[in-house]
Structure 1
Amino acid sequence: MAEQPRLLPLFPLNTVLFPGMEMPLRVFEPRYRRMIDDCMATDDRAFGIVLIRAGREVGRAAEPYEVGTMAHIEEVTPLGDGTLAVSAAGRRRFSVLELVRERQYLSAMVQILDEPPGDDVERASQDVRAAAQQTLRRLLALNGEWVARVPLSRDPLKLSYSVAERLPLDLPVRQELLEAETTSARLSLELPFLAAEGRRVEELLVQRNWLGGLALN
């Protein structure tokens, strides 16, 4: 049974937060400092992070995409210049039903989204895990870090978000992955990006003659 819609403060940003991921924030605008104060006064200390579709982070209210991630405040540290250092963690996706502009900051009536697994999710998960293992090892090697195995979740949903977070993708692609209707669909979307990134990193490693100790298969 779907949860009831709820009112959620929104923080439009030029980034995509995935469920299960951490996000440090530096909050300096008065309206968003007020938003953080209001959130801290609630039981779940929740707000929504949404990618900006049009507009800017600073100044007039930006137009957000319709799907975002509910974040929960874990820690707030006031800094000497009046800025707030906020540690937040992504929890669940939501869809914006209606924007609400009654306060200094943007809010919305939102619907929490379910996470259906989709068709053949286990096979999709196995394919992505294998491809991600190879590609992420090469990415680490590119930065001088050599590991035998990259820790990856066995849970298909967690894996889908972890891979989306770790791949160097453009914002529209990250938003597309966030909006995927099923876990299987998200994993399937990630496979070609993993393959492309794997080829790109392999070429760079070959150029640097770093492939001697790294298996290509």
Structure 2
Amino acid sequence: MPDYLPLFPLNIVVYPGEKLNLHIFEPRYKQLVLDCIMSGKNFGIPTYIQNSVGQFGTEVEILGIEKKYDNGEMDIRSKGTRVFKVLKFDRTAPGRLYAAGEVEWVTYADDEDIVTKTRIRECMEKLYEALGLKSLSMDLKTDFKSFDIAHQLGLNLDQEYALLQMLHESDRQEAILQHLENILPIVLETEKLKERVKLNGHFKYLKPPEF
């Protein structure tokens, strides 16, 4: 039996376990948040992509209201929980201003490949070092999952959404590794180019070739 979930479409991808801070300002979503708080229920964020509401999204738990404004707007803290697939989308829930829909929960296979995971870590460390963000690699947990790092890879919305739809951790790992191996040479070359540009105009000590 599908569950009926209040829905808040946004042009972002939310992953399970992700912390998300939202500023709520539209009347329909102010109503959604208040309804969820009063009922103790969660809501869903389906990804709005290619000018339509995508089939996949993530259930979000409201952790608390950080700030309330005089006009009724709110800053809320939330966290992604489970991924769902929308079976039926209603632009407005019965008697409410906000959208809702029938959803089924997505089951993921935790079949990570340790070799691929090690290669991902190595590529990320090289990437962060090239970008001058070495502290980020220090924060990388040894037991990280693909969803933990997905927002730190420079993926576009389509690529992040594709990861959300992959049911196997091993498939997500392969996709991430391929992305890193594609962009790393470009980033490294760009950094070399920056250094060459910086040196332009400086006095150069160059040893002439022997003839």
User: Alignment RMSD, CA only?
Assistant: 2.2
Identity over aligned residues, as a percent? 27
* Partners of 2:128 and 2:134 within 8 A in 1: no
Equivalences, count: 192
Q: Can you list the C-alpha shifts for 1:129-170, whole angstroms capped at 9, x where unaligned? A: 22222223333x0xxx44494322333xx4201221111221
Which residue, 87, 94, 105 being the options, matches 1:97? 87
Partner residue in 1 for 2:3:
6
Q: Secondary structure at the match of 2:83?
A: strand
- Paired residue type of 2:175: L
Q: Can you list the C-alpha shifts for 1:64-121, whole angstroms capped at 9, x where unaligned? A: 1111111111121212343211111112211112223323111112122122024x62
Tell me the distance in 2 between the aligned counterparts of 1:190 and 1:113.
20
Q: After TM superposition, give the deviation of residue 128 of structure 1 in Å.
A: 1.8
Q: After TM superposition, give the deviation of residue 11 of structure 1 in Å.
A: 0.8
Tell me the distance in 1 between the aligned counterparts of 2:185 and 2:70.
46
Q: Which runs of 5+ in 1 are unaligned?
A: 56-62, 211-217
Tell me the distance in 2 between the aligned counterparts of 1:125 and 1:64.
32
Matches within 5 A, 1:1-217: 5-43=2-40, 45-55=41-51, 63-76=52-65, 77-100=67-90, 101=92, 102=94, 103-118=96-111, 121-139=113-131, 141=132, 145-147=133-135, 149-155=137-143, 158-209=144-195
- Paired residue type of 1:154: T
Q: Structure 1 residues 80, 148: CA separation in 2 closer, same or farther (over 3 Å shift)?
A: closer
Tell me the distance in 2 between the aligned counterparts of 1:148 and 1:107.
37
Tell me the distance in 2 between the aligned counterparts of 1:148 and 1:164.
13
* Partners of 2:128 and 2:136 within 8 A in 1: no
Which entry has the higher C-alpha Rg, 1 or 2? 2
Tell me the distance in 2 between the aligned counterparts of 1:137 and 1:91.
32
- Paired residue type of 2:126: Q
